[in-house]
Chains A and B, each alone.
Chain A
Amino acid sequence: MSVDISSEGFTDDGSYNLRLYVAGQTPKSLLAIANLKKLCEEHLAGRYRIEVVDLLVTPQLAAGDQIVALPTLIRTLPPPLKRVIGDLSDTEKVLVGLDIRRRDLA
């Protein structure tokens, strides 16, 4: 099962494809989803697409993206692949991890 949470007027060019892996509706999962939505609206309005993958439903997807820790956020586009683990409560680190904000500015 994957849930798409996309911003209005989504386009392919220069946009962010994000995939969030969680396992079930745990408080940690819900917190991560909420944090991600908030962050995207603030910094990537109109330029993002989020896919939430619940591994309890599709466990076979875990190996492909080398998922070990949960929650894991993966930026599939633009390349290169980036990953952030945790409930995404530290917004600065997420922005750096996704290359939305340059490391030296963080």
Chain B
Amino acid sequence: MPNKNILLIEPGYKNKYPPIGLMKLASYHGPYGKRDNVKFIKGESEKSVLNASWDRIYVTTLFSFEWREISKSIDFAIQAAYGDTRKVFVGGIAASLMNERFTAELRWRGVRIIKGLLAEAPAIALQLDDFAEELYSDDREGTPIEDLIPDYSILDQIKDQYLYPVRDAYFAYASRGCVRKCHFCGVPKLEGAQRDAQSITDVVNGIRERHGDKRDLMLMDNNVVASANYKNIIAEIRDLGFQKGAKLERLGKPSVKRRVDFNQGVDARILCKDPMYLREMSAICISPLRIAFDHIGVRKPYEAAIRIAHDVGLHNLSNYMLYNFHDSPTDLYERMRLNIDLNVELGIRIFSFPMRYQPTDRPDRSFVGENWHRYFLRSMQIILQASHGIVSGSPDFFNRAFGDSADEFENLLLRPHHFLFNRSWFEEHDGRPQFEQFAKEFKTLKSEDRSELVKLLSTTTPSKFHELEMQASHLPLKRILRHYLPMNKDEEAKIWEKMKKQAKKLPSDVESVPEDELVEDAGLAEAA
């Protein structure tokens, strides 16, 4: 029954990687599969799809905090199905992590909200009802959609509208699941226990045959070093043309350096046990090597792993730093500091990417960890915004951005936000007297005053800071609160105008980080 009309929708959020799940569904329905007509859209801007007749509509979902964008897409899909919710299928990460919440939505009754991977035969994984004789409901023995070669050609359908930062890459998994059950992570719920996935050679060759050579190899394993098959996986990667220093020659294109990226990071607690792991890793063109550093408690294995990496010649390092979970600002500062110290000592380059924790089942980003404050989180975002979410490896820049000590860091987090936004204006230019006045008053505050201050500031949004004065317990606090009143917009615009001539100084190491190495969604653009 070819020639059915299939619509694939990715919600209109910003994301870094193409929707692999939809690409596999495209493969199931497309020229190498059922030979249906596959249409891919991102967001709801392409209204013409509302005039067509669709046999099936798939909506993918990613971050749970993008609930609003996701909802819009599901509503749009139902509209495109002329209200027939039976034709609409919703899957992906958010739909799996918040399955109950999606299912409870009355207006989506009849939509199939799929939890987990499409790892069984298509009709089973998609819950197709053969009793109702639904389309392809007899496909109870076919290859699981999860195992199909993703169809890259659908990305061309939206290339004028959206380009994924990472696209010239083979996307594959050497393993799935994870040996650990970290509470902050969605993987145990999504994928379960650690196991080997299909052969990456088959996937890479399949993609190459159908869609041409790709420069990079993006391996989305959650914890590849935990795989018993680790050495074979590395050997396979080498054999696929991703050995150390590998280059790709493509007709009519300049020769490019290849990269292998285990983009979910690797586990320091395993790496530190045997230098074999990183020695193996150094035989492929890994770039960057991402080692997770989730809390200061794993400092020892983390540091050991970095030293081994240095020994085996892996100098381009990057690490994810979870914050806003059980950690505190001091914990985060110490982790960042350690990287700076290691950079200096070993002459390597480690970038830190602080990643704010969000519970995996919450539809927004409003969560505040037990040792954090709403106000601190917003300050952290402002500081990170200036360097695209990256913590520079250069000690000078680091000290300026985050302070010389953990106390200094906490003081920065408590600074009025316009002082952080327009830092050089207030620290080095005409704004200085104003900032110095604040600094003088701030110095006189006792530590309990400071904690009262941050609590007060975290109770409301900046537009209501003027109401806080009444709530403050004593005069010095009342007085300092005046510095926190948001700046007049025109005044701020004038500052920007004057500061335009001052070239924006980004640390050179930060500037060199390609977009595809940045944190996928640091939420920097969003108000806390």
A and B held together in a complex: no
- Chain A interfacial positions (CB closer than 8 Å to B): none
Binding site for A on B (CB under 8 A): none
